[in-house]
Amino acid sequence: MARKNKRIGIFDSGFGGLHVTRYITQALPDYEYVYLGDTARAPYGDRPQETIYEYTKQAVDFLFAKNCGIVIIACNTASSDALRTIQQEYGAKKKVLGVLIPAAEEAVERTKNRRVGVIATTGTVASEKFVRELEKLDPSVRVFQNACPLLVPLVEAGRQNSPEADALLKRYLAPLLRNRIDTLILGCTHYGILERKIRKIIGPDIVIVSEARVVPRKLKQYLKKHAEIEETLRRKPGAHLYSTDRTDNFRTLGSKFFGRPIRVEKATL
CATH assignment, 7-98+213-266: 3.40.50.1860
- Strand-by-strand arrangement of the 142-147 sheet: 142-147, 115-120, 183-186, 207-210
Distance in angstroms between the alpha carbons of the first and the last residue of the chain: 33
Architecture per CATH, 101-211: 3-Layer(aba) Sandwich (3.40)
**Which amino acid is located at 224 in the chain?**
K
- Taking all residues of the chain, what is their mean pLDDT, rounded to a whole number? 94
* Mean pLDDT on 27-47: 93
Determine the 3-state secondary structure of 36 from DSSP.
Answer: strand
pLDDT at position 2 over 70: no
Quote the CA–CA distance of 170 and 199 in Å, as a whole number. 11
What pLDDT sits at residue 42?
87
Quote the CA–CA distance of 211 and 103 in Å, as a whole number. 6
Quote the CA–CA distance of 73 and 145 in Å, as a whole number. 22
- Among candidate residues 86, 97, 188, 239, the one labeled active-site is 188
Does 188 participate in catalysis according to the annotation? Answer: yes
What pLDDT sits at residue 149?
94
- Domain locations in the chain as residue ranges: 7-98+213-266, 101-211
State residue 126 phi and psi, 5-degree precision.
-65, -30
**More reliable by pLDDT, 249 or 49:** 49
Does 68 participate in catalysis according to the annotation? Answer: no
- Band (pLDDT 50/70/90 cuts) for residue 233 is very high
Query: Is the bond into 43 cis (omega within 30 degrees of 0)?
Result: yes
Q: Do 242 and 266 touch, CB atoms closer than 8 A? A: yes
The share of the chain scoring above pLDDT 90, in percent, equals 86
R_g (Cα) of the chain, nearest Å: 18
| Lowest-confidence region among 43-47, 99-103, 127-131, 179-183 | 43-47
What pLDDT sits at residue 269?
93
* Mean pLDDT on 241-263: 91
What pLDDT sits at residue 247?
85
Quote the CA–CA distance of 199 and 136 in Å, as a whole number. 28
- Strand-by-strand arrangement of the 32-37 sheet: 95-98, 68-73, 7-12, 32-37, 238-243, 264-266
Q: Per residue in 111-121, pLDDT tens?
A: 999 999 999 99
pLDDT at position 1 over 70: no
- Among candidate residues 24, 42, 59, 75, the one labeled active-site is 75
Q: Do 121 and 189 touch, CB atoms closer than 8 A? A: no
